[in-house]
Structure 1
Amino acid sequence: MLESMTPVDPLGEALHFLRMSGTFYCRSELTAPWTVALPAMENCLMLHVVTSGECRLEVGESAPLLLRTGDLALVPHGEGHRMGCGAGALPVQLFDLPRELVKDRYEILRYGGGGAATTMICGAVRFDDAAAQRLLEALPRVIRVDAWESPEKEWLQSTLRLIVSEAQELRAGGETIITRLADILVVQAIRSWIASDPAAQTGWLGALRDRQIGRAIALIHRDPARHWTVELLARQVGMSRSAFAARFTQRVGEPAMQYVARWKMHAAEAWLKDEATPLSELASRVGYESEAAFSRAFKRFAGVSPGSVRRSSFREIRIKPALQ
């Protein structure tokens, strides 16, 4: 029997999980010529908002991307990249430049050759939630949003103007306003790409848009403790077992039960890093009747014990695709 078919927005739910942690922002005041090399930051998303002037963004061997006032760009996978304006400036490593620490999450960088000015808000953001990580994996190397051409241009422009105002004056609480607004811009940039890029219509993101497969994914995400089976998931979304199994594999790229098992472990990994919950309780959250059974399953996926992840929470221990 089908459970309540309350309207479900799996894509919206995935965006909801984009709750940021380890966020750090920098106001950059730069004058041409300048070139700054940003190091790779594993499992971080990097944000650049040009509040005045212009600059080029280079990621890997890709062609430089010109960013002008009102543009925002994301580098979702934490790749090292370069930013600059003007010719002749040798690249300088970001962490070799002096910076003024204003607050724990906010600093100011001033650098350049004294020519044309560019100001930016730049940031590094981490997402620990399993759904957020899966969403980020689906994103391209760079996302650019033009605030002057976007369908949401009015509020984007208003948001950018407020960021500019706060960055210039830095009144009491200004860094808090800037970081909160920048958080919103990160989510909006991702929404904009999903709405406009054909690549977002395929793979896991495309599966979220499928009325029945997307609902099944949402059910798995909401209740990792449940003992899901192909038959149960198919019944919940009104499909036959065989049709559901085939369509899930085709849309998601892996069988339903493999996805369920992997999801439980991703959720457990996020909780291990973020909470001090006893392992016995955490095991119950992902549907295991004992801590020992959970620990064995987790080690098969991650290659390390749950306790090791908890003790090493400041390092990223990526779950290995052991079921592939």
Structure 2
Amino acid sequence: MTVRPATLDARSAARQAGAVTVDPTAPWSPADPLGEVLGDLRMRGTFYCRTEGSAPFGVEMPALEGCMSFHVVIEGSCLLELDGRSYPLGPGDLALVPHGRGHLLRSGPGAPISGRADLLPQDYLADHYSVLRVEGGGERIRQVCGVVEPERPGATHLLDLLPPVLLVAAGDSRGWLTVLLGMIADEVRQDRPGAESVVTRLADVVVIQAVRGWLDTAATGPGWLRALRDEQVGRAVASVHRDPGAPWTLDRLAREARMSRSAFAVRFTELAGEPALRYVTRWRMHLATVELGRGARVGELAGRLGYESEAAFSRAYKRVTGVAPVTARRPAAPAPGRATAPRPRGDAAPSSSVRPGP
């Protein structure tokens, strides 16, 4: 069992109130730093669609900033096209588009595009579920598509590392995709009470499994992920991720890793490609950028991320990102539903962001 506050606010409040924190050496403390990162991949379901039809067909999937799309083929085949590259998908295959990029789904090369998927006529089973029918008279096609949004700001730290399209072939999923797909399709089809919550949690597992499979095979050079994989340094990185607002020093990080100060400093830089305290600052600014994009106030973030004043936080943010935090703050967007879902924001470059990475 992992004992961990659910939010940054909870941990910060506990620390400021003088509450006793969990001893990282205790037997119930997390022993898998990489697993903790995967634990941040909690999704907020935005929209789910079952596509039924026949070739030839083609639909445009809009760009949705801050979201990711997934497509699982149940029957037939299609092509996913992004940046001029085609990815063939067959029965049981999964394609994850993690960076909110617009893309196309076609039955085959050159198939005509009927329009943008969210604007085409479809049957709504609920505010967040629909059935889209595209008939061309040829080979049958059925697939389940979803648009999900990470709930936790730390998740984007990992998702930024993923390729433009992450593919999981039916034969590579070891059966888990078939089981999850069947459960999702059943919930969407029957529309039982609580279906949205069930499908959202199942989507969590789909995304986590896809990302975990990528982590098992991905070659990672110097960067935070490589540091996280290290048995000793990984403990320190995981501690920073759990409690970014703590008063981190090199000595304290070294104690978390159970290493000497000098050995830890050298090892961290060797693995991550930057000094440990610089990484701490960039991780804080990464979280701040995500939270500012969701409408958080600068003064609130300063205390939660370990800064004594708003001015100190603003200086650190501008030093790392090159812009003042107020320029990165956006009003919180309404939750998508039938009337608003999903709201495309185009492929324009997003406001300045920090991506601690390889």
TM-score, structure 1 length as denominator?
0.84
Quick check: 1:33–1:88 contact (8 Å CA) kept in 2?
A: no
Q: Which has the higher helix share?
A: 1
Cα distance in 2, alignment partners of residues 228 and 176 from structure 1: 37
Quick check: 2:125–2:191 contact (8 Å CA) kept in 1?
A: no
- With over 3 angstroms needed to count, the CA separation of the structure-2 counterparts of 1:67 and 1:233, relative to structure 1, is same
Secondary structure, counterpart of 2:132 in structure 1: strand
Does residue 182 of the first structure (1) align with residue 203 of the second (2)?
yes
- With over 3 angstroms needed to count, the CA separation of the structure-2 counterparts of 1:306 and 1:238, relative to structure 1, is same
- With over 3 angstroms needed to count, the CA separation of the structure-2 counterparts of 1:146 and 1:3, relative to structure 1, is closer
Quick check: 1:166–1:174 contact (8 Å CA) kept in 2?
A: yes
The residue aligned with 1:235 is 255
Quick check: 1:301–1:319 contact (8 Å CA) kept in 2?
A: no
Cα distance in 1, alignment partners of residues 290 and 354 from structure 2: 15
Task: Give the superposition deviation at 1:261.
Answer: 0.7
Cα distance in 1, alignment partners of residues 185 and 149 from structure 2: 24
What is the RMSD computed on CA atoms of the aligned residues?
A: 3.1
Q: Which has the higher strand share?
A: 1
Cα distance in 2, alignment partners of residues 298 and 284 from structure 1: 13
The residue aligned with 1:79 is 101
Greater relative contact order, per chain length (Cα 8 Å cut-off, separation 6+) = 2
Does residue 246 of the first structure (1) align with residue 269 of the second (2)?
no
Does residue 209 of the first structure (1) align with residue 243 of the second (2)?
no
Cα distance in 1, alignment partners of residues 71 and 222 from structure 2: 27
Q: Aligned pair count? A: 317
Does residue 33 of the first structure (1) align with residue 56 of the second (2)?
yes
The residue aligned with 2:12 is none
- With over 3 angstroms needed to count, the CA separation of the structure-2 counterparts of 1:184 and 1:207, relative to structure 1, is same
Percent of residue pairs bearing the same amino acid type: 48
The residue aligned with 1:268 is 288
Quick check: 2:292–2:330 contact (8 Å CA) kept in 1?
A: no
Does residue 114 of the first structure (1) align with residue 140 of the second (2)?
no
- With over 3 angstroms needed to count, the CA separation of the structure-2 counterparts of 1:232 and 1:264, relative to structure 1, is same
1:288 is aligned, of 267, 282, 307, to 307
Quick check: 1:75–1:141 contact (8 Å CA) kept in 2?
A: yes
Quick check: 2:295–2:331 contact (8 Å CA) kept in 1?
A: no
- With over 3 angstroms needed to count, the CA separation of the structure-2 counterparts of 1:41 and 1:116, relative to structure 1, is same
Secondary structure, counterpart of 2:274 in structure 1: coil
- With over 3 angstroms needed to count, the CA separation of the structure-2 counterparts of 1:179 and 1:281, relative to structure 1, is closer
* More moved, 266-275 vs 41-50: 266-275
Secondary structure, counterpart of 2:308 in structure 1: coil
Does residue 18 of the first structure (1) align with residue 41 of the second (2)?
yes
Structure 2: tracts of 5 or more residues without a match: 1-22, 334-344
Quick check: 1:193–1:200 contact (8 Å CA) kept in 2?
A: no
- With over 3 angstroms needed to count, the CA separation of the structure-2 counterparts of 1:319 and 1:22, relative to structure 1, is farther
Secondary structure, counterpart of 1:211 in structure 2: coil
Secondary structure, counterpart of 2:219 in structure 1: helix
Structure 1: tracts of 5 or more residues without a match: none
1:297 is aligned, of 305, 310, 316, to 316
Quick check: 2:284–2:305 contact (8 Å CA) kept in 1?
A: yes
Cα distance in 2, alignment partners of residues 176 and 262 from structure 1: 34
After superposition, the C-alpha distances for 1:197-248 in whole angstroms (9 at most, x for unaligned) are 1325764322211111211111111222222222331233132333322322
